[in-house]
Each structure stands twice: as structure tokens, then as C-alpha cells.
Amino acid sequence: MDKLVAFTKKVILWKSRVKAGTLDMFPLVCKTFVKEMIPIIVEHLTCLEMREEYFPSINVDEFDWIRNSFVKLTDSSNFALCKDEELASLSSDRGLRVNHAELPMDAFWISIMQDYPSNAKKAIKVLLQFSTSHLGFLSETILKI
């Protein structure tokens, strides 16, 4: 979601600059037909602004505990008691804080699967949906679980 939000902000920025006649964000656009190109570019950027049609907005705040369980405990009232207790223990473990800083997010959650199974499984399920570069690694590891 972070990347989609950032992209949407860039599209809005580009659109306003294109309307003002600035095309430096598109270095390959021919300088000779700028006036003819501006309406076409603005129309295209307007279509890109409508990303909600393709990527519905989701509440990513509820997944902040996956990204960093050490900043603060989130309101996890939708968790079962065992998951809340695991999260409390996990967030207090200074050794895990070091591992969290050194490992990629997916590798961190996989590494604590045995000690914190409820939260690790939930985190991996969420991360697996968005995984691209580590998909093979995650798939192999999850199959072992």
C-alpha cells in the first residue's frame, strides 16, 4: 500500500506540472509537439489516478504489528488472547528486536515460527499475499510448516 499511495501522489504531482507545461518527468517526450501532447498526457495521468478501481483501499494500520512489533502494541482487540499474549512477549524481547532489524520481514517471521506460532503464521499469511522477490523462499518454508 505504501508504494501505491506514493505512486498516486506522484501522479497528482506530475499531472499538475504537465498542466503547467512542464514535462521534465517524461524525458523521452518529444519537445516539438508539447502543446499537442499535454492533453493526452493529462488524460492518461487522470486514468492512473483512479487506482482505487483496481486496488481497493484497505486499512493497513491493522497490519503495523507485522511491520514492526517493537514500536508499540497496537489495538489488537480483534486478536485471540493467545495472539495478544504472544505479541506482548515478542514486543518485549530485546534479542528479537536485533533480529528484526537485521532480517528481511518475511525471514524474521519465519525465524520465530516455533516460539510465536500464532502471530508468525498470521504475519506470513499477510506477507505472502504481497511477496514477489521472496515468493520461492516463503513457499518452501511454509510447506515445511
Report pTM: 0.53
pLDDT in tens, 24-64: 888 877 777 778 888 988 998 888 876 666 666 666 667 77
> What mean pLDDT is predicted for residues 110-117?
89
Comparing 64 with 133, which gets the higher pLDDT? 64
Listed by start position, the domains of the chain span: 2-53, 60-144
pLDDT tens, position by position, 73-111: 555 556 677 777 888 888 888 888 888 888 888 889 899
Secondary structure, 3-state, 51-107: HHHCCCCCCHHHHHHHHCCCCCCCCCCCCCHHHHHHHHHHHHCHHHHHHHHHCCHHH
The length of the chain is 145
Q: Is 137 exposed, middle or buried (0-12, 13-18, 19+ CB in 10 A)?
A: middle
**Cell for 89?**
512477549
- SS3 of residue 128 by DSSP: helix
